[in-house]
Amino acid sequence: CQVEHVGLVLSGRAAVRMDDGEERVLAAGDVFYVPPGHDSWVVGDEPYISLHVQGAGSYAARHRPRRGSRPRRPRAAKKPAARRAPRR
């Protein structure tokens, strides 16, 4: 993999091997930085779940609207209409 990874292991374990042969195992609770030039795989039967924190430039493409179009404004979530409590 030629992308760096910064994150937190939430569950499970994964092994990481760098291109220079260095190996390490990441486990639940570990905060990690893995530079470009590595391979990784899950170790054991427990699912490996990690939260990656990284710049959007690595994963997302910039969206460009069509010429002449205007960006849409975000809409607020609609609230259900309020109802009066019945009189007693």
Q: How many domains does the chain have?
A: 1
- Considering the domain boundaries, does residue 16 fall inside one? yes
Does residue 14 belong to any structural domain of this protein?
yes
In a domain, 15, yes or no: yes
The pLDDT assigned to 54 comes to 74
Tell me which residue range forms the domain holding 21. 5-55
pTM listed for this prediction: 0.60
In a domain, 48, yes or no: yes
**24-62 residue pLDDT tens:** 999 999 999 999 999 999 999 999 999 988 754 555 555
Using the CB atoms, write b or e for 40-65: b if 16+ within 10 Å: beeeeeeebebeeeeeeeeeeeeeee
Is the residue at 40 inside a domain? yes
